[in-house]
């Protein structure tokens, strides 16, 4: 079978065709719970060195595929490569998460570059090309970017915070300066996603990890509207581009997100309300999710029950099995195997 003609169950779901056994992958599936990741991570030096060395980035992307034969591979990179390509300082301190130079006044925002240096992201594109060459044609390759709101929360605060108060405050106090940051991120994210499609990505995911801290009006302005612009911008060049949105914590606002943005699927977190999702989200688009990453650490009967609940809630419609957020480093590999066995044994 040639690469072009191979059916990808993951893409089938995004095209509106439910699969009898849902395709499955995990957010953060390349990561510290895998010993082979930790080994390469130590060899690479810094986290960004790992992301920007195509040979290494391609290898860690493929590690979870070899072990678990997931239906999708996600390119190994990070959402903060866009601020990096915009010339901001971005560092990852071991055990502390990302550190950036805070962009927390209108004066600083006025100096923000409008255009990223996409040459700096060439290693990501090269890693995508390498993975595409090696990947089984039935497995989908996912490219991604951070949603403008979530990327802006790190740019403004210069780091992650418990509730992203610095960005929320800036959006209230200096809405025009904040809108400038969002505009720059929208335009450059469109280009970055198009470049990833060109390099071999089949699907794109927009990670809005911090969408859930916004009140409805702000959610509309800073999460929904930028996602709508990104989807429209990508589809202006690639009309059939497949795009998944992940507005984590959006809750009752998920139907509005889906209706307005035009995404093909939404990724939902574990707190989502099943009847709302089935009746007002899954009737329009595919759904991806939403096992609690903590129950994957716990394992045992609790894990079996939780997997069954997710399947019972969503596998009757267009569905991709995933976690409600990224897998955590302390997760036992045996529990991932237990989860996969149960998902793949689904008869519905």
Give the residue numbers annotated as catalytic, written as ranges.
28, 32, 41, 78, 154
C-alpha 30/C-alpha 303 separation (Å) is 21
3-state secondary structure of 136: coil
Helices then strands (H, E): number in the chain? 17, 9
Give the one residue of 13, 34, 65, 79 binding ligand CP3; rule: CB under 6 A.
Answer: 79
- Gap between the Cα atoms of 139 and 127, Å rounded: 16
Q: Which of 22, 31, 148, 293 binds ligand CP3 (CB under 6 A)?
A: 31
**Residue 74 lies near ligand CP3 (rule: CB under 6 A):** yes
- Whether 232 contacts 224, CB under 8 Å: no
Distance between CA atoms of residues 48 and 44, nearest Å: 9
Residue whose CB is less far from ligand CP3, 59 or 78 = 78
| Selected binder of ligand CP3 within 34, 54, 70, 78 (CB under 6 A) | 78
Q: Which of 11, 14, 40, 41 binds ligand CP3 (CB under 6 A)?
A: 41
Least CB distance to ligand CP3 at residue 250 (A): 14
Contact map string, positions 168 to 207, toward ligand CP3, x by CB under 6 A? ---------------------------------------x
Distance separating alpha carbons of residues 79 and 83, to the nearest angstrom: 8
Measured in whole angstroms, the distance separating CA 234 from the mean position of its chain's CA atoms is 16
- Residue with the CB atom nearest ligand CP3 in the bound state: 209
Which C-beta is closer to ligand CP3: that of 18 or that of 32?
32
Least distance between ligand CP3 and beta carbon 278 (Å): 25
Instruction: Name the E strands within 67-208.
Output: 72-74, 90-93, 97-100, 140-146, 203-208
Q: Which is nearer to ligand CP3, 150 or 188 (CB)?
A: 150
Rounded to the nearest angstrom, the gap between the alpha carbon of residue 148 and the centroid of all alpha carbons in its chain is: 13
The verdict on whether residue 31 carries a ligand-binding annotation is yes
Q: How far is the CB of 15 from ligand CP3 (least distance, A)?
A: 23
Residue whose CB is less far from ligand CP3, 9 or 31: 31
Q: Which is nearer to ligand CP3, 27 or 167 (CB)?
A: 27
Interface with ligand CP3 by CB under 6 A: which range of 13-21, 25-33, 127-135, 186-194?
25-33
x/- map, 297-326, ligand CP3, by CB under 6 A = -----------------------------x
Nearest to 331 by CA among 289, 298, 303: 298
Closest Cα to residue 117, out of 91, 156, 151, 83? 83
Q: Measure the CA–CA gap between 147 and 227, rounded to whole angstroms.
A: 7
Q: Is residue 148 involved in binding ligand CP3 (CB under 6 A)?
A: no
Comparing CB distances to ligand CP3, the nearer of 92 and 118 is 92
Distance CA 303, CA 292 (A): 9
Interface stretch with ligand CP3, choices 5-13, 77-85, 120-128, 337-345 (CB under 6 A): 77-85
* Shortest Cβ 82–ligand CP3 spacing (Å): 11
Contact yes or no for 303/270 (Cβ under 8 A): no
In sequence order, which ranges of 174-299 are alpha helices (DSSP H)?
175-198, 216-219, 225-237, 254-261, 274-280, 293-298
State the Cα–Cα distance between residues 22 and 138, nearest whole angstrom.
14
- Site of tokens 């191979």: 6
List residues near ligand CP3 by CB under 6 A.
27-32, 41, 47, 74, 76, 78-80, 92, 97-98, 144, 146, 150, 160, 207, 209, 326
Q: Residues within the annotated binding site for substrate?
A: 28-32, 78, 154, 209, 325
């Amino acid at each position: 079978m040639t690469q072009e003609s191979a059916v990808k169950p993951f893409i089938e779901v995004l095209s509106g065709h439910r699969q009898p056994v849902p395709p499955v992958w995990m957010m953060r599936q390349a990561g510290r719970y895998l010993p082979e990741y930790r080994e390469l991570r130590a060899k690479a030096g810094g986290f960004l060195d790992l992301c920007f060395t195509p040979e290494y980035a391609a290898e860690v992307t493929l590690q979870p595929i070899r072990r678990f034969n997931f239906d999708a591979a996600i390119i190994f990179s990070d959402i903060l490569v866009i601020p990096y390509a915009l010339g901001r300082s971005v560092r990852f301190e071991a055990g502390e998460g990302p550190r950036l130079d805070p962009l927390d006044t209108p004066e600083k925002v006025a100096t923000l570059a409008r255009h990223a240096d996409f040459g700096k992201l060439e290693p990501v594109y090269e890693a995508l090309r390498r993975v595409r060459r090696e990947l089984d044609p039935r497995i989908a390759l996912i490219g991604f970017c951070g949603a403008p709101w979530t990327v802006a929360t790190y740019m403004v605060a210069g780091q992650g915070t418990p509730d992203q108060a610095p960005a929320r405050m800036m959006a209230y106090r200096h809405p025009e300066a904040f809108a400038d940051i969002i505009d720059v991120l929208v335009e450059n994210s469109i280009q970055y996603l198009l470049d990833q499609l060109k390099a071999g990505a089949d699907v794109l995911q927009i990670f809005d990890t911090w969408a859930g801290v916004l009140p409805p009006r702000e959610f509309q302005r800073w999460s929904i509207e930028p996602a709508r612009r990104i989807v429209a911008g990508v589809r202006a060049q690639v009309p059939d581009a497949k795009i998944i949105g992940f507005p984590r914590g959006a809750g009752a606002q998920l139907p509005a997100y889906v209706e307005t943005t035009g995404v093909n699927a939404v990724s939902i977190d574990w707190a989502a309300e099943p009847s709302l999702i089935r009746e007002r989200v899954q009737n329009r688009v595919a759904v991806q999710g939403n096992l609690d990453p903590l129950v994957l650490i716990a394992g045992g009967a609790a894990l079996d029950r939780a997997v069954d609940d997710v399947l019972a809630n969503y596998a009757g419609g267009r569905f991709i099995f995933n976690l409600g957020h990224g897998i955590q480093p302390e997760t036992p590999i045996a529990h991932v195997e237990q989860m996969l066995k149960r998902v793949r044994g689904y008869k519905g």
